[in-house]
Amino acid sequence: MLDHMRLDLLDPVEVSRLGGLELSTEGVVEGFLTGLHRSPKRGFSVEFAEYRMYQPGDELRYIDWKVLGRNDRLYVKQFEEETNLRAMIVLDASRSMAWTGSPDTLLTKLEYAKRLAAAIALVLLRQHDATGLITFDDEVRSVTPAKARMTHWRRLLKELNGLEPGHGTAAGPALARVVDLLRRRGLVVFISDLLLERDAALKAFKFLRHRGHQVLVLHVMDPGEVTLEGLQEVRFEDPETRDAVILRPRDWAGVYQQTVSRAVQAWRVACRSNGIGYHCITSDTPFGLALREALASPSGVA
């Protein structure tokens, strides 16, 4: 039955069971890709990226005459700068991202975010957009420089596959380091549950915008964080501080949901008022719908 369904519209857990991060992500992207844009802006650098077929209007100086002699076909060289944009995916791997409210039916926020990051990277690379990856928790954990080669996706997948949740979310110094690393103007896709210090995060986002970056924030939430449900009495524990409280969900459900709604709205208003794209995505959302909302909207990249 799964063979006849679009993988990007399946439940995320069903997609994750099809054979690992690489297979599921490729299936998601195959289902999602339709008529992606091409930028008219071209550039040049000394770092060769790949070949593509000659198209009318291409500069003749970039034709590879040796390939023409061997294959009787016109190919032009593309270089690292000959991309639509330079994108960096910044992924939050803090301890809070390791949580799921339904272990039997939902991925953790981090596992969902990893697959979403891999799918976004594949979309960008297939558009010939140089794409890199930064992961962080209390500090920057890894930096994978942006490249435009399709083979670069394997390196990004290897980094994502090996990514484990950290131990905290004191992200201020890490975000300052991220800003320092991203000096070259481009697209920054920030994927996080945003359970971090808001002022520090917004300061980083606004600084990136000031430098000319396009910033897109994907706020990943578990459905269990949106509404308060449970038995008559439930013990809730902070996964990072280990602080705990026992309460009756039905007594607090209304107030809790209002508080969460206000927090999400505050993030949305703060981001969009500063020219920053913002989308809240719950981890039960099929990946194709999440990609379409994030990438195919005016504040996205497509």
Residue 298 has pLDDT above 50, yes or no: no
How high is the mean pLDDT of the chain? 84
pLDDT higher for 260 or 127? 260
Q: Quick one: average pLDDT of 3-17?
A: 80
In the chain, the percentage of residues whose pLDDT exceeds 70 is 85
Same domain, 133 and 234: yes
Mean pLDDT along residues 10-16: 88
Distances (CA, A) of 210 to 110, 132, 269, 277: 29, 21, 18, 14
Instruction: Please give the average per-residue pLDDT across 177-187, as a whole number.
Output: 92
* Mean pLDDT across 18-28: 86
Residues 113 and 194 in one domain: yes
Q: Examine residue 102 and state whether it is found in any structural domain, yes or no.
A: yes
Q: What is the pLDDT of residue 122?
A: 94
Assess if residue 300 is contained within a domain: no
The answer on 31 and 122 residing in a single domain is yes
Q: What is the pLDDT of residue 45?
A: 44
Q: Do 191 and 287 lie in a common domain?
A: yes
Residues 6+ apart with CB under 8 A from 263: none
* Shared domain check, 291 and 208: yes
Do 187 and 72 sit in the same domain of this protein? Answer: no
- Do 124 and 199 belong to one domain? yes
Residue 24: which domain range?
Answer: 2-37+84-295
Specify the pTM. Answer: 0.80
The answer on 275 and 235 residing in a single domain is yes
Quickly state the pLDDT bin for 295 (edges 50, 70, 90): confident
Q: How many folded domains does the chain comprise?
A: 2
Distance CA 80, CA 66 (A): 21
Phi, psi of 190 (to 5 degrees): -105, 115
What is the reported pLDDT for 251?
A: 78
What's the pLDDT band for 49 if we cut at 50, 70, 90? Answer: low
Q: Is residue 267 part of a domain?
A: yes
Q: Do 53 and 69 belong to one domain?
A: yes
Is 72 in the same domain as 195? no
Residues 53 and 175 grouped into a single domain? no
Calculate mean pLDDT across residues 129-140: 94
pLDDT tens digit sequence for 259-274: 999 999 999 999 999 9
Average pLDDT over residues 228-247: 75
Alpha-carbon torsion angle 124, 125, 127, 129, nearest 10: 80
Tell me, yes or no, whether 42 lies in a domain: no
Query: How large a percentage of the chain has pLDDT more than 90?
Result: 49
**Pairing of the two strands 277-282 and 234-237:** unpaired
Rounded CA-CA distance 302/297 in Å is 7
Average pLDDT over residues 80-104: 85
Residue 35 has pLDDT above 50, yes or no: no
Structure token digits, residue 214: 């396009």
Tell me the per-residue pLDDT of 142-172, one tens digit each, with 9 for 90 and over: 999 999 889 999 999 999 999 999 876 667 8
Mark whether 74 and 92 lie in a shared domain: no
Distance in angstroms (rounded) separating the CA atoms of residues 187 and 185: 7
